Amino acid sequence: MSKGKKFGMYAFLTIVSVLSVFPLYYMFCAATNKSVDVSRGRMIPGTYLFENYKSLIAQQDLYRALWNSFRNAAVLTILCLLVCSIAGYGFEIYHDKGKDIVFSILLTAMMIPFAAIMIPMFRMFSSLKMVNTMAAFMLPSISTPFMIMMFRQASRSFPHDIIEAARIDGLSEVGIFFRMFIPTMKSTYAAATIITFMNAWNNYLWPKVILQTNDSITMPMLVANLLGGYTVDYGMLMLGVFICTIPTAIIFFCFQKSFTEGITGAVK
């Protein structure tokens, strides 16, 4: 590669990196400044962070929202990974034409927007007396067509010879899945963890509809509440957004090495 092309490539990557990091930098600067300074577009960190924090915890139940969001996202992620990986594994390993038809129906369901099924789901859970329950929050997201498709694609690269050898050795089908498939597909599980946790953490519409008590508040609800007054304290608002961003960023950085490999369904 010539020096000119290399310089252009690095210049382009530098510009893209700056544009990607800038919103986070602006969010942090806004969280440390007064509302009036944020409105004026101040682009350097200030000294008003603790004042914004005191105002935030005085107006909103921050710690309850953090706990609810983390609990909901963690439990939903574990259940979703278990259910969707079993489904994806079953669709591919125990393959037949009937399962292909069911899988096609699942893929068709991906094209239906959530807003179109939200009201029927709410009426169903309401008739079952499940409003304001964790089960009502988790059941619609515990199994998603995208996650099932992702694990099915990963299962295609899982060596079938290993399965046959394990069966000959007397290992049960459940043992093959938990003792051989899961350890082999660590990268796929890492990628699925990032996607599922972020979706669960950032979910606003369905929790807002089905969880109707103040004790069930989540971080997206808390941030929305900060916009509900006649005047908006932008410093406090950006601090709430910044705190809401931290857990998802930690999860991504913890699993980023396996993310690309897991998305492509590669197996080492």
Average pLDDT, rounded, for the chain = 88
- Write the Ramachandran bin of 133: left for phi over 0, alpha for psi from -120 to 50, otherwise beta: beta
Cβ–Cβ < 8 Å for 225, 64:
no
The mean pLDDT of 168-182, rounded to a whole number, is 89
Res 268: pLDDT: 47
Residue 260: C-alpha distances to residues 87, 97, 100, 121, 264 (Å) = 22, 31, 27, 34, 6
Which carries the bigger pLDDT value, residue 111 or residue 266?
A: 111
The mean pLDDT of 13-38, rounded to a whole number, is 90
Q: Is the pLDDT of residue 111 over 90?
A: no
Length in residues, the chain: 268
Distance of CA 101 to the CA centre of its chain: 28
- 214-255 pLDDT, tens per residue? 888 999 999 998 887 678 889 999 999 999 999 998 988 888
Res 239: pLDDT: 93
Res 266: pLDDT: 47
- 49-62 pLDDT, tens per residue? 999 999 999 989 99
